[in-house]
Homo-oligomer: A and B are copies of this chain.
């Protein structure tokens, strides 16, 4: 059994590329069914097409309201048979209606150790705060920005000569390990979303759990 997933992007989607690679082996329990971009020029669209994955452009500027835009996305995802959504650099806030419709089936990766540094420019925020550890977080999406239940986190060192760019590069390497690990843990039932919280059944093995916090 292979779970059909949809990926929402706004730009190049480096995490999309990693998810595509992750799903290549036939024994991986998911495959990417559809990639949707809210911008016609999103570079990730070419990347997906090159990998033989169906793509769609749903341009938010062509819809009168956020709800209409999100309804169009939901309909397109359902028509394609998508059962689970990964955000990969998707730059639109999602409203409560969409989030509830896909509750427990909608995850995102954020480039900070939440709850620290929500929002944009997280690497600048981290350097300004002078932290020595920074990282990334995979979480279920809630209607409150970057505040959904946390699935996994990975830390990287901040070095004294770091720029926002050098730090972003280091965090991105961690993102590319963490996002597939979290996706796989969900699909294999090792973690679950219940009543707004992430729960792990007793069957979760320690060695697997350690992939979710490194």
Residues of A within 8 A of B (CB): 113-116, 129-133, 135, 137, 149-155, 157-160, 191, 197-200, 204, 206, 209-210, 212-214
Q: How far is the CA of A152 from the CA of B154 in the complex (A)?
A: 17
18 pairs, CB–CB < 8 Å, chain A vs chain B: A113-B113, A115-B116, A115-B129, A115-B131, A129-B150, A130-B198, A132-B150, A132-B151, A132-B152, A132-B153, A132-B213, A133-B153, A133-B154, A155-B155, A157-B210, A157-B213, A159-B206, A160-B209
Point out the residues of chain B lying under 8 angstroms from A191, CB to CB.
160
Q: Could you tell me if B204 and A133 are in contact, using CB atoms closer than 8 angstroms?
A: no
Q: Given known contacts A115-B116, A160-B200, A204-B160, is B213 in contact with A133 (CB within 8 Å)?
A: yes
Q: How far is the CA of A213 from the CA of B130 in the complex (A)?
A: 12
**Residues in B whose Cβ lies below 8 Å from that of A149:** 130
A19 to B124, CA, bound (A): 34
Residue of B nearest to A204 (CB): B160
Extra contacts, 20 of them, besides A132-B153, A157-B210, A158-B213 (Cβ < 8 A), are A113-B116, A114-B131, A115-B116, A129-B150, A130-B150, A130-B197, A132-B137, A132-B150, A133-B135, A133-B153, A133-B213, A157-B212, A157-B213, A157-B214, A159-B206, A159-B209, A160-B199, A160-B200, A160-B204, A160-B209
**In the complex, what distance in Å separates the CA atom of A214 from the CA atom of B157?**
7
Minimal Cβ-Cβ distance residue in B for A154: B133
List the B side residues contacting A197 at CB < 8 Å.
Answer: 130
CB distance from A198 to the nearest CB of B (A): 6
Rounded to whole Å, the gap between the CB of A139 and the closest CB of chain B is: 9
Q: Which of A149, A206, A213 has the most CB of B within 10 A?
A: A213
Q: Name the CB-closest residue of B to A182.
A: B132
Within the complex, the shortest CB–CB distance from A119 to chain B, in Å, comes to 14
Residue of chain B at shortest CB distance from A138: B132
Which of B151, B157, B206, B214 is within 8 Å of A209, CB to CB? Answer: B157
